[in-house]
Chain A
Amino acid sequence: MRILFKTSYLDDIRLFRHGGNIFWYGLLAVCLLLAPAVLREFYVGELSQVFILAIAGVGLMLLIGYTGLASLGHGAFMGIGAYVNTYLITKGVPFVVSFPVAGLAALAAGVAVALPANRMTGIYLAIATLAFSQIVEQVVVRWESVTRGFQGMPVPPPDLFGHRLATAWEFYYLCLVVLVVVVLGAINLTRSPTGRAMVAIRDSEISAQSLGVNLVRYKTIAFAISAFITGLAGALFAHKLKFISPDAFNIILSIQLLLMVVVGGLGSIHGAIFGAIFVGGLPQAIALMRDYLPGAIAKTPGLEPGLFGLVMILIVLFEPLGIYGRWLKIKAYFDYFPLYRRATFKRQRSYLKTERVR
C-alpha cells in the first residue's frame, strides 16, 4: 500500500501524483510507441481504430460523464468532422488546416445544438440530440453537390507538410498524437474551474447556479468542446475508413459511442479509454475466439452482437461504474490486501440522471 505524504497544494493538481504513476504511464507510452514495430499491420490498424474511438469517447465523456448531459447524437458530430475534413482535402486544403477546421465545424454544430438543449435534461435531451443526428444524416444524404449522397466519397490519406501518411503505422502515430493531446486537454480541463463547474452542473444545477455557475454558458461550453473533440475523431475516422457514406455515421455509431462511455465508466477519462478498448477490441477478441470454439457455436450467426450485448448487460447490472470502477476495485483489493472490505464501494450510484426536478 502506498501512502502519499503531501507537502504542497501542488501535489493535488499534478498530472502524475507519484513515481508509480510515472513508471506505469511511461511503460504504456513505450509499449504504444513500439507497437507498430512488433504487431502485424492489421492490428496496427485496429489499434488506430481504438485510438479514434477513444478520442470520440473522451469528447462524449466530458458531456455525459462530467456535465451529465446525455447525447444520442454524437455519431453526427463525427460525421460532420469526417465530411468537412474530406471535402476540404478534396478541394486541395492541406490536412493541417482541414483537420482543425473539421473540429471547429463540429464545434459550431455543437453550439447550435446546445442553444435549444439548454432547456432540456435527461431523456428529453437524448431525444433532441437523436433528432439532430437524423437531421445531419438527411442533410448529408440530400446535399449531393458536396457530399455525393449515397455514392459516398473516397478519402485520400492525410497529407502532413507534403508527406503522405499512407502506411498503417504512420496513421497509427497520427492517431496516437491526437489522442494524447486530447486526453491532456481533457485532464487539464477537469482539474480547472471549468471542469469543476461542469461536475457541479451534473450533480446539482440549482446549487451550481447559486454558487455563480452560469448554466447556459457552461452547458454550451461542454457541448462545444465535446463536439470539437468528436469532430476531430470523425476526421480521423474518415481517413481510417478511406471511403465515407452517410450510413457510416448513423444512429448505430451514436449508440456505440454512448455504450462506450457507459461501459467504460462514467465520470472518468480512464473510462472513455477503457470503453474504447472494449468496443474496438471485443469484436476482434470474439473473432479470434471463434477459431477455438466448437464448430456449432462458432458458426452461429449473430455470435458477436450477442456476446457484445451479454457483456454490456452484465456490466450495467453488476458494475454501474463500468470497467474503470472494476479496475479501481481490483487496485484497492491489492493495495489494502488482506484488509479489503466489499463495503468500501457500497454507496456508489450511477451518474446518469434521467430527470431532475429543481
Chain B
Amino acid sequence: MIANGSWGFAATDVMDNDSIARAAEQAVAIAKENSRLLIEPVRLAPQKGYGEVSWKAPIEKNAFEVPIKEKVDLLLGVNDAAMKSGANYITSLLFLVNEQKYFASTDGSYIDQDIHRIWPAFFITKIDAASGKFETRNSLSAPMGMGYEYLNVRPQDKIQSVTTLYKGRYDMLEDAKAGGAQAGEKLKAKSVEAGKYDLVLDPSHLWLTIHESTGHPTELDRVLGYEANFAGTSFLTLDKWESKKFNYGSKLVNIVADKTQVGSLGAVGYDDEGVQCGQWDIIKDGILVNYQTIRDQAHILGLNASQGCCYADNWSSVQFQRMPNISLQPGKEKKSVDDLIKGVEKGIYIIGDGSFSIDQQRYNFQFGGQLFYEIKNGKIAGMLRDVAYQANSQEFWNSCVGIADASDYRLGGAFGDGKGQPPQSNAVSHGSSTARFNGVNVINTARNLG
C-alpha cells in the first residue's frame, strides 16, 4: 500500500481478522515512517478497475491430477534409459507448479488467476574412472507454462539434428537415452582451440543469452538505478532510447516482450498491479525502442499506462518490475538450420544451456552449453569440449547475420530469474529460432588441479 507517498508492505500467514488488520497496520506504519526519506512521492499510472475477473492457463492435462505412480515410473524409466546408454549417475525430476493467485486493489479489481507450469529435467554424469575425468549432460527440455501435455510428444514435435530436439513438447525418455551416450562422447571429444568462431546457436541455448543480454538490460528499474546495489544497472540508458537510433543489434534483430504468449512461463492475464497484459516491441530492426515498465515508472517513459510487468513471487513478497517473456523473432526469409550451418567455414554449433555470467551493466558475458559441435567448411565435423564464449552484448547482437525462419521457433526459459532484495525468483520464457553470430571469441575452459 501507499501512505504519505511511500510504499509499505507487510505479510502474514495467519488468516484471522486481527492478524490481517495487524499486517495492514504494519504496512501503513512502515510507509509513513519511510516517507521522510522520499525525494518524491510514488506516482502511479492510472489504472481502471476490472471488477471480478479471472484468467486460467490454457492447459490440456493438469499435472496435479496425474497419479504419483505414473510420475515415479516415468522418472525411474528415464534414469534406467540413461544408465543403459552409458551414464554413471543421473538425477531426474518433475518440477510442477499450480499457482492460484488472488489479487484485489482499491482500483476496483478482483482478479483470480490459475497458473500452471512444468519442468521435466535430468542431470547426467559420466566418469572415466581411470583418468578421473567426468562430464555432465543436462536435459534439453524447456520449462513451460503448460500442463502435463508437455510430456505427450507427437512426431511433429521433434526436430532431427545432430541430436533430437523438441518443439513445444518433450520426450524425456528419448532425451535421457541420448544424454547418457553423449556424456560419454563428451569425455572423448576434442578440446576446443581458443579463438574466433562463427557460432550457430540452437534455441535451447540462445534463450539464456537473450535473457541475460537483452531481457535484463531493458528492465527499466535497472536502467533507472533501482537495482544498483544488487542486480546492477544497465548499459541501455535512457539517452540511447531517446536517440531512436541506438544500434543494439543488426537489422535482423527484432525482440518482442509478450506476457500473453501461449505455453510460455510468463503468460498471465493480469500482472501483480492489476494491469491487463499485452505485447510490445523492445528492439525493432536492431534499434532500441522500448523497455519493461510498471505503474510507478510509466510516466518516466511518457506513457500513460503500465506495460504490465509487475510481479511478486510469493504472497510474502513485494511486487516490483520483473521481466516478461522476451523473444527474438524468427527470420523473415525462408531459412533452415542446415542453411545457417552451410555458410560457416569455422564455427561451433551449440545446443543446450550451460554456465552463464554477465556483468552488472550487461556488457560483458560468458556462456557455456551442453553440446558443442565443430563446423568446418559448412559441415558438422565432430564434438568439442571445454567451450565457452565471451562477448559484449551490443557487439554480439550486431554480429547476428542469420536467423532461421518461423518453422524452427522454440521456447526456452527459466524458473530462477533472480532480482531484488530480498531476492525473488521470476519464471520467464524466451523464444527464438536458431541464429548465427559471426566472429565470437571462444575460450578453452580446461584446467588441471594436479
**Are A and B subunits of one complex?**
no
Q: Which residues of B contact A (CB under 8 A)?
A: none
